[in-house]
């Protein structure tokens, strides 16, 4: 079925040739049931995703690293965490410190990249995904998965930036920056801009948001998706 | 699964925990074990994180951020509910987790709360793994015990305050309906009434029941018998007119003042209409004042008759209650009771020695059992014996007979003074317990060499001996020889341990407590058999195994455990548990006796309040710790 997956990836036809085992893992993931978004937050599994961009250009630069952390049944389990490097370490580290000459970015390719993304796929399963400025994160994640694995993720993304603004009016009606939320709630990111650390901080924001949401009657993942949709409709230019 | 991401989060967790005790001292490996197993949870303000209705505690909560209010439900008494606030680094509910039961209070988030949650099995694994954490939990339990004791003392103090004092209004002091006669009643009728109703005085009233006179016992002598007055004349002729009265709202001090001013022994309490409500006598007031330790001690030492000693016994009981309510610990009170009981016993012995001459014979009066351990409560029967030296074997029979005569009288007098004769005949008047030093030594040696059930039972009574009177060095020689014997017979100690393990703490798997199956007292726990005994048995064994000469349980535990390298904190928790059970016993016995029953040791756990039940359970758990130790030490 290699030809088929290659066909789906379309323009990214240079996608890595996948081994039989890898293809089996992908189809196993595909066979997973779609997420049930109608259960309570405290019976659901969310996966928080944060990414780091390598190099100077934070808009279009290559994906540097992915951090993922699960929030299952309302609890953060440190063992359910994942960090994936998409570029070679030395460069990725330096990229976090913009001043000075831009360094060449050495992207991790081949087998190593495929395995990393397969691990991400296995970790995420079919859980709804949560990120801050989700559309940006989603675009990058979905693109890299499609390119390397020929996988169309097709999972609901929940944007904490929208959801927090909808649930907490303390910081005004507009969307606030992530740092503003962290400061407001006293959540400390261990190492700001490290994707795992930020995912952990986001998970705590999500815990706060879930409690507030449940209190306001938004009791399920589906209702959060609806909340976000409604706000996007209300504030199209936010 | 250990990976880079987990590693980052775990070390961040370790760092945040390390800011607080006991995690700041915790072994690195254990701290990592903890951080790898916790999960972070969030609770919004007002959320009940843990409460009684959550059932048996299954999770340890360590506060990472935010504050939690601990709301103690004081049972049906609203005013008792108090609230404590926990902050970051503090954990709950260790007590409930350790005991595998529900929490007493409710834990409510005051603001946004983040806490690390550790599953019960990991919590127990951690207590096994980390000595620092184990110690922390042990100390925590000990603190709970102390807190509960304070609460208990508060209750007792309230009870004491409710009791009658010199500030009480007369309406509280008056106990019986006043008996009164009219002025035309014949003297004979009045005297008959006073005799039949044991009255010290008779009040004479008019038609409105307003007092017009009083006639007292001493008046009979002075105004009737000596002058040879007629018994047929009206009481109005011989009564003291215009008796001193006070409104019932006046207090005992007022009454005392009035008596002193007018040199009378009776004051009449009247209501607003001036009608008689009762009689307050000087004796009533005297009873209110109570006696202090010094006076009691003085009264005992100066007593020249058994009758005086009988009163002293009652004073001891009263003072012990006052001490109980003033917050004096169970250990001090039992020791205090023992000390004064010793004083009474010594005085009884001294009074009897006037009639028995043992000049030239070395002898000592021994106390056994709880008296031997300095742990007497309000109800104690006699456990005593005599040891003497007989230089000439030919004199032995004769000397023993003389001591037995003497002992019989002492035992009877002690009985009169409130120490009932021992049902098991463990008394000096028993020829088996009135022996020469060599015979005692031989008796002990035999029990130690052949530890059959009866010998083991005897060991639990007689090995706790203490000299009360006479040559104390005889008791010391007995002790040394006993310790030599037990040292040389490890089998005996093992059997003694087995014997001690026959009774387990009454802790239930499903219910909190296992109550006795005694059909006459269902739903009760015998705090002597299933409580105190567990501690005293273990303490005795520790003492014999480690050559500790003390007989007092707390002293034995403290001294032996330092020799056995048991942590001082652990011992303190055990001692607290023992003292708590003793305190419950004392309180129970006092209440029983207040209600005219002979104080037993049967308490109903259902009637204890939540905190007491909780602490009692912890106390039993301390007993279980002791037993586990015995099992390990003696491989049982």
Question: Which one is predicted more confidently, B255 or B411?
Answer: B411
pLDDT band at A169 (very low <50, low <70, confident <90, very high): confident
Whether residue B77 is predicted with pLDDT greater than 70 in this model: the reply is no
* Mean pLDDT, chain B, whole residue set: 85
Q: Are A186 and B65 within 8 A, CB to CB? A: yes
Of B3, B6, B114, the CB nearest to A204: B114
How many domains are contained in chain A? 1
In this prediction the ipTM stands at 0.87
Question: Which one is predicted more confidently, B77 or A152?
Answer: A152
Q: Are A78 and B47 within 8 A, CB to CB? A: no
Report, as an integer, the average pLDDT of B108-131: 92
Pairing mode of beta strands B245-247, B266-270: parallel
pLDDT digit string, tens, across residues B318-349: 777 776 765 666 777 777 777 778 888 999 99
pLDDT band at B102 (very low <50, low <70, confident <90, very high): confident
Whether residue B158 is predicted with pLDDT greater than 60 in this model: the reply is no
Whether residue B17 is predicted with pLDDT greater than 90 in this model: the reply is yes
Q: Are B6 and A200 within 8 A, CB to CB? A: no
Of B9, B43, B112, the CB nearest to A81: B9
Report, as an integer, the average pLDDT of B21-50: 93
Q: How many CB atoms lie within 10 A of CB B40?
A: 23
pLDDT digit string, tens, across residues A56-97: 777 788 899 999 999 999 999 999 999 999 988 654 455 555
**Residue of chain A with shortest Cα separation from B13:** A78
Whether residue B448 is predicted with pLDDT greater than 90 in this model: the reply is yes
pLDDT band at B76 (very low <50, low <70, confident <90, very high): very low
**Quick one: pLDDT at residue B95?**
82
Of B4, B10, B114, the CB nearest to A83: B4
Question: Which one is predicted more confidently, B77 or B318?
Answer: B318
Whether residue B74 is predicted with pLDDT greater than 60 in this model: the reply is no
* C-alpha–C-alpha distance, residues A202 and A206, integer Å: 6
Report, as an integer, the average pLDDT of B188-205: 89
As a whole-number percent, the residues of chain B with pLDDT over 90 amount to: 37
Which residues does chain A have within 8 Å of residue B10's beta carbon, measured at their own beta carbons? 78
Mutate to test the interface with A, among B2, B7, B9, B46 (most CBs of A within 10 A): B9
Highest mean pLDDT among A70-84, B71-85, B370-384 belongs to A70-84
**Quick one: pLDDT at residue B164?**
54
Q: Are A78 and B35 within 8 A, CB to CB? A: yes
**Quick one: pLDDT at residue A233?**
84
pLDDT band at B101 (very low <50, low <70, confident <90, very high): confident
* C-alpha–C-alpha distance, residues B205 and B239, integer Å: 11
Helix, coil or strand: residue A44? coil
Mutate to test the interface with B, among A72, A75, A78 (most CBs of B within 10 A): A78
Whether residue B541 is predicted with pLDDT greater than 90 in this model: the reply is yes
- Of the listed ranges B182-191, B309-318, B420-429, the one predicted with least confidence: B309-318
* C-alpha–C-alpha distance, residues B16 and B64, integer Å: 8
Q: What is the pTM of this model?
A: 0.51
Question: Which one is predicted more confidently, B217 or B437?
Answer: B437
pLDDT band at A173 (very low <50, low <70, confident <90, very high): low
HSE toward the beta carbon, residue A14, CA cutoff 13 A: 3
**Quick one: pLDDT at residue B79?**
37
Question: Which one is predicted more confidently, B606 or B407?
Answer: B407
**Quick one: pLDDT at residue B380?**
75
Of B525, B544, B546, give the one whose Cα is nearest residue B605.
B525
Whether residue B213 is predicted with pLDDT greater than 80 in this model: the reply is yes
* C-alpha–C-alpha distance, residues A103 and A96, integer Å: 11
pLDDT digit string, tens, across residues A179-206: 999 999 999 888 888 999 999 999 999 9
Whether residue B19 is predicted with pLDDT greater than 50 in this model: the reply is yes
Mutate to test the interface with A, among B1, B3, B4, B5 (most CBs of A within 10 A): B5
Chain B nearest-CA distance from A74, in A, is: 7
Question: Which one is predicted more confidently, B297 or B3?
Answer: B3
Question: Which one is predicted more confidently, B86 or B292?
Answer: B86
**Quick one: pLDDT at residue A238?**
54
Report, as an integer, the average pLDDT of B244-253: 84
- Of the listed ranges A151-165, B43-57, B530-544, the one predicted with least confidence: B43-57
* C-alpha–C-alpha distance, residues A194 and A187, integer Å: 15
pLDDT band at A123 (very low <50, low <70, confident <90, very high): very high
Report, as an integer, the average pLDDT of A34-46: 92
Which residues of A touch chain B, with CB atoms under 8 Å apart?
67-69, 74-79, 81-83, 185-186, 190-191, 194, 196-197, 200, 203-204, 207-208, 210-212, 215
pLDDT band at B515 (very low <50, low <70, confident <90, very high): confident
Report, as an integer, the average pLDDT of B531-544: 94
Whether residue A165 is predicted with pLDDT greater than 50 in this model: the reply is yes
* C-alpha–C-alpha distance, residues B28 and A172, integer Å: 44
DSSP for B367-424 reads: E-HHHHTT---S-----EEEEE--SSGGGHHHHHHHHHHHHHHHHHHHHHTT-PPPTT
B608 burial class (0-12, 13-18, 19+ CB within 10 angstroms)? middle
Partners of residue A66 on adjacent β-strands: A51, A84
**Residue of chain B with shortest Cα separation from A208:** B42
* C-alpha–C-alpha distance, residues A151 and A171, integer Å: 38
**Residue of chain B with shortest Cα separation from A206:** B42
Of B468, B258, B508, B455, give the one whose Cα is nearest residue B344.
B468
Report, as an integer, the average pLDDT of B48-69: 90
**Quick one: pLDDT at residue B286?**
65
**Quick one: pLDDT at residue A146?**
92
A21 burial class (0-12, 13-18, 19+ CB within 10 angstroms)? exposed
**Quick one: pLDDT at residue B159?**
52
**Quick one: pLDDT at residue A60?**
80
**Residue of chain B with shortest Cα separation from A67:** B5
pLDDT band at B305 (very low <50, low <70, confident <90, very high): confident
**Quick one: pLDDT at residue B157?**
54
Whether residue A5 is predicted with pLDDT greater than 60 in this model: the reply is no
User: Would an 8 Å CB–CB cutoff place B41 in contact with chain A?
Assistant: yes
Structural domain boundaries enclosing A51: 2-234
Whether residue B575 is predicted with pLDDT greater than 80 in this model: the reply is yes
**Quick one: pLDDT at residue B371?**
87
pLDDT band at B161 (very low <50, low <70, confident <90, very high): very low
CB pairs under 8 A between A and B: 71
Report, as an integer, the average pLDDT of B54-60: 87
**Quick one: pLDDT at residue A96?**
55
pLDDT digit string, tens, across residues B273-303: 888 988 888 777 766 655 455 567 777 887 8
What domains sit in chain B, N to C, each tagged with a CATH number?
A: 4-129 (2.60.120.10), 175-288 (3.10.580.10), 305-444+464-470 (3.30.460.10)
Q: Are B41 and A212 within 8 A, CB to CB? A: no
pLDDT band at A6 (very low <50, low <70, confident <90, very high): very low
* Mean pLDDT, chain A, whole residue set: 85
Chain B nearest-CA distance from A217, in A, is: 15
Q: Are A196 and B4 within 8 A, CB to CB? A: yes
In CATH, what number is assigned to the domain containing residue A148?
3.30.420.10
DSSP letter, residue B223: I
Which residues does chain B have within 8 Å of residue A197's beta carbon, measured at their own beta carbons? 8, 12
Chain B nearest-CA distance from A139, in A, is: 23
* C-alpha–C-alpha distance, residues B200 and B189, integer Å: 15
Q: Are A76 and B40 within 8 A, CB to CB? A: yes
Q: Are B12 and A83 within 8 A, CB to CB? A: no
């Amino acid at each position: 079925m290699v030809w088929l997956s290659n066909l789906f990836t379309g323009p990214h036809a240079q996608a890595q040739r996948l081994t039989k085992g890898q293809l089996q893992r992908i189809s196993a993931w595909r066979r997973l049931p779609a997420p049930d978004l109608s259960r309570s937050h405290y019976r659901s599994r969310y996966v928080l995703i944060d990414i780091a961009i390598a190099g100077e250009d934070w808009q279009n630069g290559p994906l540097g690293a992915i951090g993922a952390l699960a929030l299952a049944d309302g609890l953060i389990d440190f063992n359910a965490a994942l960090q994936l490097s998409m570029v070679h370490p030395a460069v990725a580290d330096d990229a976090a410190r913009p001043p000075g000459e831009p360094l060449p970015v050495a992207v991790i390719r081949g087998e190593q990249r495929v395995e990393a993304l397969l691990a991400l796929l296995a970790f995420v399963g079919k859980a709804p995904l949560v990120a801050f400025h989700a559309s940006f994160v989603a675009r990058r994640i979905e693109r890299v998965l499609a390119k390397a694995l020929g996988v169309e993720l097709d999972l609901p993304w929940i944007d904490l930036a929208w959801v927090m603004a909808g649930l907490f009016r303390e910081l005004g009606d507009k969307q606030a920056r992530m740092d503003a939320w962290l400061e407001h709630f006293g959540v400390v990111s261990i190492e700001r801009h490290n994707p795992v650390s930020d995912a952990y901080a986001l998970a705590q924001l999500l815990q706060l948001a879930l409690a507030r949401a449940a209190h306001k009657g938004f009791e399920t993942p589906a209702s959060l998706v609806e909340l976000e949709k409604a706000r996007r409709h209300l504030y199209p230019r936010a | 699964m250990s990976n880079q991401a987990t590693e980052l989060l775990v070390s961040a967790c370790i760092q945040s925990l390390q800011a607080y005790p006991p995690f700041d001292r915790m072994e690195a490996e254990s701290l990592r074990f903890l951080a790898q197993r916790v999960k972070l949870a969030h609770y919004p303000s007002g959320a009940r994180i843990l409460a009684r209705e959550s059932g048996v505690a299954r999770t340890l909560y360590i506060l990472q951020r935010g504050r939690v209010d601990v709301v103690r439900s004081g049972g049906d008494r609203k005013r008792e509910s108090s609230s404590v606030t926990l902050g970051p680094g503090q954990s709950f509910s260790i007590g409930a987790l350790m005991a595998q039961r529900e929490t007493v209070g409710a834990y409510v988030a005051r603001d946004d709360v983040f806490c690390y949650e550790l599953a019960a099995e990991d919590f127990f694994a951690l207590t096994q793994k980390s000595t620092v954490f184990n110690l922390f939990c042990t100390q925590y339990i000990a603190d709970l015990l102390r807190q509960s004791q304070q609460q208990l003392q508060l209750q007792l103090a309230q009870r004491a305050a409710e009791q009658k004092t010199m500030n009480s209004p007369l309406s509280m002091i008056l106990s019986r309906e006043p008996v009164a006669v009219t002025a035309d009643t014949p003297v004979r009728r009045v005297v008959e009434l006073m005799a039949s109703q044991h009255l010290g005085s008779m009040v004479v009233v008019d038609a409105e029941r307003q007092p017009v006179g009083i006639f007292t016992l001493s008046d009979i002598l002075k105004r009737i018998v000596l002058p040879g007055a007629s018994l047929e004349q009206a009481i109005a002729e011989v009564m003291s007119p215009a008796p001193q009265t006070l409104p019932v709202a006046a207090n005992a001090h007022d009454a005392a003042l009035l008596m002193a001013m007018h040199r009378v022994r009776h004051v009449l309490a009247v209501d607003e209409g001036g009608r008689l409500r009762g009689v307050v006598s000087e004796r009533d007031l005297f009873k209110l004042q109570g006696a202090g330790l010094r006076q009691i001690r003085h009264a005992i030492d100066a007593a020249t008759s058994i009758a005086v000693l009988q009163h002293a016994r009652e004073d001891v009981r009263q003072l012990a209650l006052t001490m109980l309510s003033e917050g004096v610990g169970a250990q001090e009170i039992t020791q205090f009771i023992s000390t004064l009981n010793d004083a009474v016993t010594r005085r009884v012995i001294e009074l009897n020695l006037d009639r028995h001459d043992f000049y030239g014979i070395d002898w000592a009066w021994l106390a056994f059992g709880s008296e031997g351990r300095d742990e007497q409560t309000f109800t104690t029967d006699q456990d005593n014996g005599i040891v003497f030296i007989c230089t000439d074997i030919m004199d032995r029979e004769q000397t023993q007979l003389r001591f037995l005569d003497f002992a019989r009288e002492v035992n009877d007098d002690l009985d009169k003074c409130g120490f009932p004769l021992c049902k098991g005949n463990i008394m000096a008047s028993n020829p088996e317990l009135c022996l020469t030093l060599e015979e005692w030594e031989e008796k002990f040696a035999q029990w130690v060499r052949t530890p059959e059930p009866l010998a083991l039972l005897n060991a639990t009574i007689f090995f706790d001996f203490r000299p009360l009177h006479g040559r104390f060095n005889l008791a010391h020689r007995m002790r040394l020889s006993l310790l030599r014997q037990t040292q040389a017979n490890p089998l005996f100690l093992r059997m003694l341990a087995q014997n001690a393990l026959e009774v387990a703490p009454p802790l239930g798997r499903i219910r909190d407590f296992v109550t006795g199956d005694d059909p006459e007292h269902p739903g009760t726990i015998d705090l002597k058999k299933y409580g105190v005994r567990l501690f005293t048995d273990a303490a005795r064994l520790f003492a014999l195994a480690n050559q500790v000469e003390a007989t007092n349980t707390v002293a034995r535990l403290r001294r032996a455990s330092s020799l056995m390298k048991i942590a001082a904190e652990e011992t303190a928790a055990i001692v607290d548990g023992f003292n708590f059970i003793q305190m419950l016993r004392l309180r129970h016995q006092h209440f029983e006796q207040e209600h005219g029953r002979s104080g037993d040791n049967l308490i109903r756990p259902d009637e204890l309040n939540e905190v007491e039940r909780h602490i009692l359970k912890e106390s039993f758990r301390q007993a279980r710790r002791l037993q586990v130790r015995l099992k390990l030490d003696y491989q049982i």
